[in-house]
A = this chain, B = another copy of it.
Amino acid sequence: MSEQDQMINELFNNHEELTEKQRRILAAAIESFAEKGYAATSTSEIAKKAGVAEGTIFRHYKTKKDLLLCIVAPLMAKLLAPFVIKDFDKVLNQEYERFEDFVKAMIENRAQFLKNNMQLFKILVQEIPFQPELKEQFTEHIAKKIFERFRKIVEHYQSKGQIIIMEPYSVVRMLASTIFGYLIARYLLMPEDEWDDEGEMERSIFILMHGLSPK
């Protein structure tokens, strides 16, 4: 089973049974959407790449946009899932005594996930601005739920004296900028360069924690 297949399975197999053709359609669509963008990809192209008749696509997905949403929505869910677990903060608080360890673990975990799903991530990032459904889902989850949890975590570590006292929103934003900034540079802008992933990650976290100024 190819890497693509694994990715698709990881995204879909929990929720639905996929036929072979459906999987091939999804794989083809993901590849093309990531490469050329949603609007610039034609359904006939997807059909050809998937080795199915064009009509077959529309038997499974009512419209082209439906196909896009069926690809991207579960990614967003999975991407954000770890932050939505009910007792997320408690678990983590106990597990990670130091804020730095928490950050490290979280970043590594999510970075790994996105690395495994880079094509999907690219599609998500590209299409969020143009698909109101996605945008809504995104802000609904991020802004309302996830952010609230992060705020609590930040406040928790602040009360323990491990983080400076500062508007939590700014802290969370810097955290997100650091992780996404790295991922975008690494996988979207300059994927063909050689990267010292381990080192880059460590250095990012170090700057995030201790800043650029020498003590």
Complex Cα spacing A164 to B143, Å: 34
Per-position binary interface string of chain A over residues 197-215, scored 1 when its CB falls under 8 Å from any chain B CB and 0 otherwise: 0011001101111111111
Interface residues of A in 143-170 (CB under 8 A from B): 143, 161-164, 166-167, 170
Q: Tell me the A residues contacting B by CB distance below 8 Å.
A: 36-40, 99-100, 122, 126, 128-130, 138-139, 143, 161-164, 166-167, 170-171, 173-174, 176-178, 180-182, 185, 188-190, 199-200, 203-204, 206-215
Q: Looking at the assembled complex, report how far the CB atom of A196 sits from the nearest CB atom of chain B, in whole angstroms.
A: 8
Contacts of A164 in B (CB 8 A): 210, 212-214
Known: A36-B130, A181-B174. A209 touches B212 (CB 8 A): yes
Q: A114 CA to B31 CA in the complex, in Å?
A: 32
Q: For the A-B complex with A166-B207, A207-B211, A209-B211 known, give 20 more contacts whose Cβ atoms are closer than 8 Å.
A: A37-B130, A100-B213, A126-B126, A129-B188, A138-B189, A162-B214, A163-B214, A164-B210, A167-B199, A170-B200, A170-B203, A174-B178, A174-B204, A177-B178, A177-B180, A177-B181, A177-B185, A181-B181, A207-B208, A211-B211
